[in-house]
Amino acid sequence: MMRFPTDPVGLPGLIALGVGMGVFVVSLLRARARGVKSPKSSDARRSNASIWGIVAQGIGIGMVGFGPIRVSLDPASTTALLEGAIVLVLILGAVWLFDSSSRAMGRNWALVARTRSDGHLVQSGPFAHVRNPIYVAMALFTLAMAIAYGHTLNLIAGAPLFALGTAMRVRHEESVLRATFADYEAYAARVKRFVPGLF
C-alpha cells in the first residue's frame, strides 16, 4: 500500500479521538439495542447490494488510518492544543450527528439498506435537513482521524474510495426508499443529500 508522509501530532488530538470513539461505541450499542428491543417486523424491502458500498467505505476509512503516527508535538504547545480542539469538535459532531440520526430512525436503523413492513419515511431530526446525515457523520469521523493521526495526505487515497462507497450505498438505499414510500420523491426534492442547499 502506498504510504504518504505523516504530520507530527500531539497527545491532545489522540486523546480527543479516543474519547470520541468511546462515546461513539456507546451510541452505536444504544442504536443497536433500540432495534433489538423493538417488536419484530419483517423486512418489506432489503438491498444486500449495499454491502459492497460498506466494504468500499471501510477500506477508504482504513486507508486514512493506515500508517505510522508521529507523536512529537509538545502536548502543551499551541499547535497540539489547537489540533486537539479541532479533532474534538469534529469527532463529537460526528457522534452527535450519528446518535441523533439513529434516534430519529428508531427501529428503522440498520446497517444494510432495508425498510420494515411497519416502517415509515423518517423526515425528522437531522433528516429534516439532509437525507444522509449518518454518512456526513462518517466523513467527519474520517477527517478527525486523519488530523489526529497526522494522516491528512492519506485522504488523497482514502477519501475517493469512501466517496465511491457512499455513492454506492446511497444509490441502493434511494432505490429501496423510492420503491417503498410514495412521499420519497417530494422529500428528495425538498432535502439535499449531504449539505443543506448544496449537494
Q: pLDDT tens across 51-102, in order?
A: 899 999 999 999 999 999 999 999 999 999 999 999 999 999 999 999 999 9
Residue 41 has what pLDDT? 47
Which residues face 71 on adjacent strands? 9
pLDDT at 111: 65
* 3 state DSSP class of 116: strand
Distance CA 186, CA 118 (A): 21
Does 179 score more than 90 pLDDT? no
Q: Say what the pLDDT of residue 106 is.
A: 83
Match 459492497 to its residue by C-alpha cell: 52
List CB contacts of 140: < 8 A, sequence separation 6 or more: 90, 91, 93, 94, 97
How would DSSP label each residue in 16-55? HHHHHHHHHHHHHHHHHHHHHHSPP--EEEEETTHHHHHH
Q: Residue 158 and residue 60: Cα distance in Å, rounded?
A: 4
pLDDT (0 to 100) of residue 180:
87
Task: Dump pLDDT digits (tens) for 121-158.
Answer: 899 999 999 999 999 999 999 999 999 999 999 999 99
Angle, vertex CA 164, rays to CA 175 and CA 105, nearest 5: 50
> Rounded distance, CA 9 to CA 81, Å?
10
C-alpha cell at 149: 493521526
pLDDT tens digits, 80-91? 999 999 999 999
